[in-house]
Structure 1
Amino acid sequence: MTETDQPRKLVLVHGAWHGPCCWDRLVPELESRGWSASTVDLPSTSGDPDAGMYDDARAVREHLETVEGPVTVLAHSYGGVPVTEVAETVPNVERLVYLAAHMLNAGEAVITPIGGPWFPPETKIVPCPEPAREAFYHDVPAELADTAVARLRPQSARAFTEEQTRASWRTIPSALIVCDDDRSLPELFVKRQLTMADVVRHLPGGHSPFLSRPVELAGLIDEVTRTLAARD
């Protein structure tokens, strides 16, 4: 195998309330296209109320430091926040893909653009949006959606309130994938991010295309990363 035949490296970072198992349908599709995919498990979804965004960012960085050679990072939803916090501190990160994800500026937290928390200030663990199936999986086949809902995990409030100190999308070529019927990520976030990414693409359907349309999503990941590479 020549160097150019080596699998491309992709690190997948899940969103709030989720875990690495959310990528199970997508990973085989990526591998069939020549990617070597690995996942990060964010501490803020472990049930520990003291684990916040900075702990998640540390977990992302520690995982990235184990990856040899150039790597692309794909972040879903809240996962965009810890990725944005640390990606530029890891020299081999060459591209970022934000999938229905938050792209924030330094000094911002998830709650900043909406003017403050949507939960009481004493909250330690934020309940999952209800009904979760409507918020995350409305276009996912029923049996698969039920399994995904059962796998959702507790989410610490600190993850939503700790502010970024960096905005790595400013220094690393980045793509934004917008899900056109997203019922989870507020439109406010989507609109402000359209001018932040170097490349913007759209997918039909809801917040979780890794479950609803993994083949189409894998193809789009291929396309946006090649488009970013051509702009280098």
Structure 2
Amino acid sequence: MTRTHLDERFPGHDLDRSVWFPYYLPHWSSRAESAATWEVRDSALHLTIPPDQPLWCPDLHPEPLRVSCVQTGSLTGQQPFADGLVVREEQPTFWGYTPCYGAVEVRMRATVSPRSMFAFWMSGIEDEPRRSGEICVAEVFGDTVDGEGAAVGIGLHRFRDPELVEEFSAERFDLDVSEFHRYGVDWRPDGLTFSIDGTVVRRVRQSPSYPMQLMIGVFDFPAKATGADEPVPELVVSHVTGRP
């Protein structure tokens, strides 16, 4: 049965595995090499990238990348990042929470530096290659964060969907990303309405028309290291809600 509502408050000390898949596109490498570093405590999900976490797809990804990400769906072959990729480890199909339209919101805070970022986005389930559009609800690179705010990437990525037009940009907001904020989207057939802390910040007059999975993650780019003492990247998620 398809899950139509989500009200995740992260009780206890484990992830609800009927909803969450704690790996980042493991079919391009393996579950062992793509596993998130995570902990559930104090009614929140903590995603971190400790110094000893290995690179993700180091022999294939053009830029050195480390990532801790959870997602609510998974199909083998999703989100190819280069031409000619071959699946290395086939994964079972997972439909945890994959809505088609609805209002989705994540409350989260992050610790990032100029070499790291965090994001919450919704990606087409890609049971067909064209169903690959992406709704980016919040994407923040640490090198845009300062005492006056941060640039938040918001919008729609077309990828391999011929019916969509790329419509994405990053605008600055008076926002302390180290404090909790609510990032949401109201996704309807005639468009997308994005909000931060309940205030509408952007509207897009187009939308994908197929199921999408939620993806929440923190990323580290070792090539951007400056040699300075940099904090361990961390993303803390206190709740995730979704309704039709």
> Which TM-score applies when normalising by structure 2?
0.27
Q: Which structure carries more relative contact order (alpha carbon 8 Å, separation 6+)?
A: 2
- Relative to its length, the structure with more helix (as a share) is 1
- Relative to its length, the structure with more strand (as a share) is 2
> Which TM-score applies when normalising by structure 1?
0.28
